[in-house]
Amino acid sequence: MPTRGPVRSARPLRAAGERSFTALGARTIADPIEPGLHIVATPIGNLGDVTLRALQTLAGADLIACEDTRVSRKLLDRYGIVTPLTPYHEHNAAKARPVLLQRLAEGAAIALVSDAGTPLISDPGFKLVRAAHEAGHGVTAVPGASALLAALTVAGLPTDQFFFAGFLPPKEAARRARIAELGRVPATLVLFETGPRLAATLADLAAGLGSSREAVLCRELTKLHEEVRRGDLATLAQNSPDSELRGEMVLVVAPPPAPAAASVADTDDLLRAALARLSLKDAVGEVADVTGLPRRELYRRALTLAKEPYDGAPR
């Protein structure tokens, strides 16, 4: 059981008739939900992609904290939910967070939603979740739609390991530096991007990760004009959609190719050359990075080679 705050005043109440929702033509009464913070995933485009539990939570909450009340109101109106909305976004979070924490201390049940998808994925919600935990309030997940996972499932790229990099820096120099860092990640990459920056980002990814690296561009996921475009980074960069496109898109990039296995002779040559310039530890580290071979195995071999004369010529 999650811990609760030490003292609370009476829980604010809403009329029973206000706690309801309409789905598939049926009006359903929602029971008040447990006090605490409830992290609720909402659709990423198609409003039909909402779970029954999410509807029950949104209707049963005392308050819904959202990024943009106008966006969230469309979802609530679709399902006849009249729970009050309050804005919570990156520009007002510092002022809004203490107010929400006070409501939690008074026994309120608050639902946190983002404009689309799962909260805390590229939004400021994590600070509220952390603060709620530190104050002893219960925090509950109500899972559902996620653009990140939706893109991964349709991309056709490896999903056993993936790295979510969010949005790349908007400025060219910082973006290219970040891409260079991501190039060393041995996993599928998932990134968010906006229409105006898409062409520049694809060009930088092709230059920084290799033009032949396989990638997938996902746009308008779950919507009427959903598009999943596959190809190598160079092709996607050359055929990137119009920069006037609105909304966010998801880029999925394949992992880097595995390094080719080095022969014993090649490994020995690499170790001898490295030992001529570096300490034993540094030489082993350099060759391990190049070959992908275990450091322990390379260390044993390096100890043997260090005792042998080396004239700088391959053997």
pLDDT of res. 35: 97
pLDDT of res. 315: 46
Stretch among 10-14, 49-53, 226-230 having the lowest mean pLDDT: 10-14
**3-state per-residue secondary structure call for the chain:** CCCCCCCCCCCCCCCHHHCEEEECCEEEECCCCCCEEEEECECCCCCCCCCHHHHHHHHHCCEEEECCHHHHHHHHHHCCCCCCEEECCCCCHHHHHHHHHHHHHCCCEEEECCCCECCCCCCCHHHHHHHHHHCCCCEEEECCCCHHHHHHHHHCCCCCCEEEEEECCCCHHHHHHHHHHHCCCCCEEEEEEEHHHHHHHHHHHHHHHCCCCEEEEEECCCCCCCEEEEEEHHHHHHCCCCCCCCCEEEEEECCCCCCCCCCHHHHHHHHHHHHCCCCHHHHHHHHHHHHCCCHHHHHHHHHHHHCCCCCCCCC
Question: 156-165: per-residue pLDDT in tens?
Answer: 999 999 999 9
pLDDT of res. 13: 61
For residues 276 and 187, which has the higher predicted lDDT (pLDDT)? Answer: 187
pLDDT of res. 4: 45
pLDDT of res. 273: 86
For the sheet containing 227-232, what is the strand order? 162-167, 188-194, 248-253, 214-219, 227-232
Question: 74-127: per-residue pLDDT in tens?
Answer: 999 999 999 999 999 999 999 999 999 999 999 999 999 999 999 988 777 999
